[in-house]
Structure 1
Amino acid sequence: MKTERVMLSVSIAVALASLPAIAVAQASTALAGLNTAEAPRVTQTVDNRVVSTLGNTHLALISALTPTAAVADSLPMNHMQLILQRSALRKSALQSLIAAQHDPSSPKFHQWVTPAEFGENFGITDADINSVKSWLISQGFTVNGVYPNKSQIDFSGTAGQVRQAFHTQMNRYTVNKVSHIANASDISIPSALQNVIVGVAGLNDFRPQPLHVAPQVGQFNAGKRNFTLKQASASSTNSQVNPMALAFTNGARGFVPYDLNTMYNTTALYNKGLTGKGINIAVVEDSDMDVSDWPNFVSQFNLGSYGGTFMQFQPQLTPSTGNCTDPGNATGDEESIETVLDSEWSTAMAPGANIWVATCNDAGSTNFFGGVYTAANNLINATSRPDIISASYGYGEGYTDTASKTAIDLMWAQADAEGISVFVSTGDSGSNPSFNGSIINGVGVDANSFATSPNVTGVGGSDTADVLDGTTKKYFSSTLNTVYGSALSYVPEITWNQSCGNTTAAQQLVGLTALQFCKNALIYDPEGLYATSESGSGGPSSVDRKPAWQRQVHGAAKDQSRDLPDVSLFAGSYGGYSWVILCTGDYPCAQNFTTPVVLEGGTSLSSPMFAGIQALIDQGMSKAGLSTDQGNAAPTLYALARSEYGDATGAVPSTLAQCDADNGTKGTAKCVFHNITGGGNSTQCIEVEAFAETTPDCYFYGTIANFEGFYGSTKIGLTSTSATKYNPTTAAYAAQPGWSFANGLGSVNAGNLYSAWKAFVNAP
């Protein structure tokens, strides 16, 4: 088996060798007529005595905190990224190019560039780079390398050198009971360099977290055809019976690939020979998985005949900067559930695709986004690049400094210009993505800084409506087939929301509004043990502007912000009933599930699933003689949605109502999108009196005397755009016809999406 894996990796590497030639051939058209020539912008002598402060180069939240200790000057600060400031000319040129690359009427449509061409045309000049490098070296730093995009320099040093060169102290701070390192103030640099430097990404260790729910372990009950849940680990959810949960908490449903293939109609594409074959999907991670998990998953669900492949590796630059090391610990309970989820469920939707598990160690870098950022960035700047990237990690923009956010958006813009389709999970905690597994407090509405780039597609979370509606027998067979599936068709969806803010659950279970449902819950839950913000995330960016393609669909928010999500797929269920099955090292899948398996969910599931759907589209475009790579999917998705939902100002077409997810398979059979209009992602939020901090965007409906038996007096509420009233128009956020903060455009019928996509890219 080990020899087979080695040969597999070699064969994939050989296959990749042809990619750069294709990219170069296309790029000549993309760059035709482009004039981005410019003179060096560092024109003065670099003098360390004449400095300028770069604004917003430290985390705003740090200013309100008292440091617990100063960091020792000897602390290594490895692989920081100096983010370079591109000129207005080159920024504008890149935006124009990407717009043309997504315009079917443009001669530059789907003509992509290489990393070297990106750097030459949209980075900063070699002379300016050399000026910055020389200054870094003069300050005692080690320059590990310049990225091909000519927009960032990888360098290492110590906390003392950072203090000396950038005039900021590195301190330790405690945030939510976790110790962090961060710079205490904005950085300063020689004034001669201020026109070409944004800041340093890597001066704090606030990194995005995996966006999955706490894994559960289930033992299959053949008689009941469900799983009896066990507590997976000490970090799993509270083992007491939740007084708000449904009566089925002692049993759970485990979805298999067949179920999601049926729901989202990828089966129709398999029947056409579209399985993702030849398409490379990279899932970017900061931890390894047991490499035996993937073949076990493929074997268990009979996916081997489709010919998909798998490899786990550490992506490097050429020449290497040394910033991506192997995380290791890929066996037993040390393997990453996130990595397992991403690799297996991208395969579940695209069983013929090549799955690249790209991992970089967090410990090898103090960069803000650690291993996940490094893995993605190195892939995008590599010679051989994937067609698709899925990133299932995130943190709010409120936890992101300017340099780091600039680095993220630059990375994703480069990927788009190169033709790579990027999908990012939007989060698992409602209107603020930073509280996965906990409760929103101390901050208000926010959006995932990893997903708010206009050059990626943000994927939110939905739930199947059958359990709350009592229609399970209509949509699922009473018996399992040979691959353990039971779904009969598309199943109507609602917003994934596990809190009492779930309006559908409140109405269907007890006939109440969500607000009254939450108030009643205080009677049974006086310490707030079951308060949660677990839900699919959505919200407006406070950094990125709304792209033109997002303005033009019915329901689009009338704001100036890049809004999330763009689309949604299954992520979880109210009451913890529905999950997907994973095959892990500790709990490998056995025939007929005679041994326990891991059950999982979250928008970490939604993103790799949509990446798998994109792989089917990419293969179809290639077979039709069109460009294999499609770049960011979002502009095309919104263009197709306008046909079904109508635009932001015109008459509403009949297909808006027809494509409502509530109509089920019969009503939505011809639709590209399932418009999810049920529920919303308004969740619980708290304000702890002892913390002496306020929680904005929260409507408080009660007070808990001693929250969780430990924190003392605490106000509890629901996320809302108004602190004085709570109704469907103020809830943050309610589902609605057309686009919404709860579900974006909704989920998709993959078969119909492919047909519509093919027609769109062929349109003059």
Structure 2
Amino acid sequence: MKTEHVMMCVSIAAALAALPSIALASDSNAALAGIDTTEAPRVTQTVDNSVVSALGNTHLSLINNATFTGAVDDATPMNHMQLILQRSALRASALESLIDAQHDPSSAKFHQWITPTEFGDNFGVADADINAVKSWLTSQGFTVNTVYPNKSQIDFSGTAGLVHQAFHTQENHYIVNHVSHIANAGDISVPAALRDVIVGVAGLNDFRPQPLHVPPQVAQFDSSKHNFKLKSSATTTPGGQAVNFPSLGARGFVPYDMQTIYNVSPLYTSGFTGTGITIAVVEDQDMDVSDWPNFVSQFGLAGYGGTFQQIQPQLTPSTGNCTDPGGNSPDGESIETVLDSEYSTAMAPGANIWVATCSDSDAGASSNFFGGVYLAADNLINNTNPAGRPNVISASYGYGEGFTDAASKTAIDLMWAQGDAEGISVFVSAGDSGSNPSFNGSIINGVGIDANSFGTSPHDTVVGGSDTADILDGTTSKYFNSTPNAVYGTAKSYVPEITWNTSCGNTVAAQELVGLSALQFCKNALIYDPDGYYVTSESGSGGPSSVDAKPSWQRIVYGAAKDQSRDVPDVSLFGGSYGGYSWVILCTGAYPCTANFTSPVELVAGTSLSSPMFAGIQALIDQGLYQAGAWSPDQGNAAPTLYELARNEYGGATGSTPSTLDGCNSNNGTKGTSKCVFYNITGGGNSTQCIQLQGETTPDCYFYGTIANFEGFYGPTQVGLTSTSTSKYNSTTAAFAAKPGWSFANGLGSVNAVNLLSAWKKFNYLP
């Protein structure tokens, strides 16, 4: 019987393999069998606008120290705000129980995914309570645009004056870091009768997180040296230390290199290219649509049958909250969008790529704190047409929880939980600034350890950044050919990895270059860099959540942090390099790829690369499982399964550790790691530099010196390394050192895609 079932599923899989997309959920309600979330309305009193209750943490705390420059005019439009509804404890608990069962192979609900409508009917807010809130909004003069299918958020529009009147908070103009913003001055208040069903309003401020990539570099290929010359190349690293990198050029990785390093290519030979799987990369700006076909043509990926489309995912035609952000021209496109679309394809060349973009604002008004990126993802997840929902989502944006208001954080976590229950696998970049993801392109100051609020939900998988170790180790010839092949690749095999960290806090760089500890390396840098121009926090990010609790699946593996927090990252892939030597090549509108790179190209790095690459690997896994007989290609959140598989390799949180913990150490390279699912990255760490300007306090920073006049402008500035102790700095206190098993620096490490699929099949009881 089991054999007949498997053969039937394989036949169905083969028949559907050529379809442009595979449906997300079946018509069955098997997942909801035995679940009863019936409840009485919670709004039981008459709504009285004179009796109000404040909702805590519904304004950004950073506003308290910002420079006030005036009130927002009452007539200013505030379009497409979202009122985030508070679900009952009963329904929130029932949802978590269902998702646990959906990820348990021994459960009858295993991989029985639900639809947005089923989510709303069973785990959203009761219709009577929604109607009470809608009536109140309308009575206050707002226009209710729509109630989302998840019955947990209401899209509505009005003006700044109506916000002041209804929510008892003033919209003001502020200057933060020399940039003008609008935000609500204090926490909002709502009628006491509605308090139990309202979390807050997302869309009362216009702060935006940045895409998580290093600024791209324009480079010209040198065919005689087989490397690139950066047009703005420097001869020193952050910290001012001279680097003896080959010819001071730069290396541009191509899809072939990433496919080889993470052992993806053999899956193509087996027919697993991502065919039939849809990956959505969610963005807030368009790209030049000619880039993608140029990319797949240049790197030999056009024959795999992948598709590309750029869309604005609208919830309904009348909602209108996802408008085209523009940028679909060579001079206006988003490098982030180009990167995400091209490197998800680099790993899954047969997949369907949706570039889903929504504008950050509509008629000058703010939306959610995460703007168009949030709206694009939310509208996809709430699409009631299965063909309008992707199998995999990659989101490469981030900001710390300390900079995110309660309503926005609740909305983000709800969105990813809903996606998980529907079977969608979500990947989020960890960040590019070490132990606080909010400082991409700048330096940690004024705040301490934090984690990316877009990724700390227990219902997504966070991807950190690694670096290849060959440059600092001097082993490049062992792992890379000196001349590129027909598709410009040079990688021979898996390459040992360390944590991506461009600062003097990079312990591997400190030891390999000058034989010093990171702390002494940084102290010496003060001599070479007295004004602090090379001080940086650029590094793969990781840290504990201060909002979300640790899920049970994150406790089970060796090295798991002994805390109560959802900790990130979960895994890592290549994100960048020390000294700016290694990058990936993009094909952009401004710098199209040409044969043999006769014209300049753009090079880029960051965890914005890591996330879409893992999304691509997931597409291969999805197709492989489905063709092996899985009921559905969809896996929901990948993290619970990844941690279960890692426990087999690294050992559990307690008890003895297996020999594979050492055997699968990334430092072993290809020696003995051929059967490993994970490559455990134990070299380096993401402790980076941090500063403390006059008049501010920067926690979680061990200060080792003072810069007399930081960057020639800011005056005396203390400089340090991120640390869990302000009184000592070592491998135990550094925030955070890589170590065996799981770590804040690299999560579980990187993966061997072939072995991952094989292990995942066994976990799913597939042949």
Deviates more, 1:133-142 or 1:406-415: 133-142
Q: Does 1:601 align with 2:602?
A: no
Give the whole-Å Cα distance in 1 for the aligned partners of 2:162 and 2:81: 12
Amino acid at match of 2:427: F
Counterpart mapping for 1:464-503 below 5 A:
464-503=468-507
Identity among equivalent positions (%) equals: 76
Q: CA deviation at 1:763?
A: 7.1
Match of 1:355 in 2: 353
Q: Which amino acid aligns with 2:500?
A: W
CA distance in 1, matches of 2:710, 2:286: 37
Q: Deviations over 1:481-503 (max 9, x none)?
A: 10000100000000000000000
1:710 matches 2:710: no
Q: Unmatched 5+ residue regions in structure 2?
A: 1-15
1:331 match: 329
Residues 21 and 278 in structure 2, CA contact (< 8 A), matched pair in contact too: no
Deviation at 1:245, TM superposition (A): 5.2
* CA–CA distance in structure 2, aligned partners of residues 245 and 137 of structure 1: 65
1:395-442 Cα offsets, whole Å, 9 max, x none, are 000110111100000000000000000000010000000000000000
Residue 174 of structure 1: how far off its partner (Å): 1.9
Is 1:730 paired with 2:730?
Answer: no
CA contact (8 A) 2:380 2:390 kept: yes
Q: Which residue of 1 aligns with 2:224?
A: 223
Determine which of 512, 518, 525 is the counterpart of 1:521. 525
Q: Which residue of structure 2 lines up, in the alignment, with residue 120 of structure 1?
A: 121
Identify the match of residue 410 of structure 1 among 410, 414, 417: 414
Q: Distance in 2 between matches of 1:240 and 1:169?
A: 49
Deviation sequence 1:50-80 (CA, Å, 0-9, x none) = 1111111111222233422211111111111
Shift of 1:43: 1.0
* Length, aligned pairs only: 742
Shift of 1:84: 0.3
Mapping for residues 442-481 of structure 1, pairs under 5 Å: 442-481=446-485
| One-letter amino acid of the counterpart of residue 158, structure 2 | G
Structure 1 contact 549–635 (Cα < 8 Å) conserved: yes
Q: What do the CA deviations read for 1:596-618 (whole angstroms, capped 9, x no partner)? A: 00000100000000000000000
2:241 matches 1:244 = yes
Deviation at 1:521, TM superposition (A): 0.5
Deviation at 1:207, TM superposition (A): 2.0
Structure 2 counterpart of 1:556, from 560, 574, 589: 560
| One-letter code aligned to 2:739 | Q
CA-CA distance at 1:697 after TM superposition: 0.2
**Could you tell me how far apart the structure 2 residues matched to 1:42 and 1:370 are?**
30
Q: 1:643 aligns with which of 644, 648, 668?
A: 648
Task: Determine the structure 1 residue equivalent to 2:79.
Answer: 78
Which residue in 2 is equivalent to 1:209? 210
Residue in 2 aligned with 1:340?
A: 338
Distance of 2:242 and 2:158 partners within structure 1: 52
Corresponding residue for residue 9 of structure 2? none
Moved more, 171-180 or 279-288: 171-180
| Within-5 A mapping of 1:39-54 | 39-54=40-55
* Cα deviation, residue 208, structure 1: 2.0
Corresponding residue SS for 1:668: coil
Q: What's the TM-score, normalizing by structure 1?
A: 0.95
Partner of 2:256: 258
SS in 2 for 1:25: coil
Give the secondary structure class of the aligned counterpart of 2:671: helix
How does the TM-score come out when normalised to structure 2?
A: 0.95
- 1:285 aligned residue (271, 278, 283): 283
What code does the residue aligned with 2:762 have?
A
2:761 maps to what in 1? 758
| Amino acid paired to 1:291 | V
Name the SS of the counterpart of 1:214 in structure 2: strand
Q: Does 1:745 align with 2:743?
A: no
Aligned to 2:228, the other structure's residue is in SS state strand
Q: Is contact 1:493-1:662 (8 Å) kept?
A: yes
> CA–CA distance in 2 between the matches of 1:284 and 1:456?
14
Tell me if structure 2 keeps the 8 A contact 1:489–1:665.
yes
Alpha-carbon distance, 1:328 to partner: 1.1
Cα 1:24–1:431, aligned 2, differ >3 Å: closer, same or farther? same
State the match for 2:623 in structure 1.
Answer: 619
- Counterparts of 2:181 and 2:532, CA distance in 1: 27
CA RMSD in angstroms comes to 1.5
8 Å contact 2:236–2:242 — kept in the other structure? no
> Using the alignment, how far apart are the partners of 1:24 and 1:57 within structure 2?
38
1:540 aligns with 2:544: yes
Alpha-carbon separation, structure 2, partners of 1:541 and 1:302 = 41
Unaligned 5+ segments in structure 1 are 1-11, 232-236
- Note closer, same or farther for the CA distance 1:245–1:182 as it changes in structure 2 (3 Å cut): farther
Distance 1:583 1:16 in 2: 25
| CA distance in 1: counterparts of 2:49 and 2:571, whole angstroms | 49
Superimposed CA distance per residue, residues 727-750 of structure 1 (whole angstroms, 9 cap, x where no aligned partner):
000000000000000000000000
CA positional deviation for 1:141:
0.7
**Alpha-carbon distance, 1:33 to partner:** 0.9
SS of the residue aligned with 1:333? coil
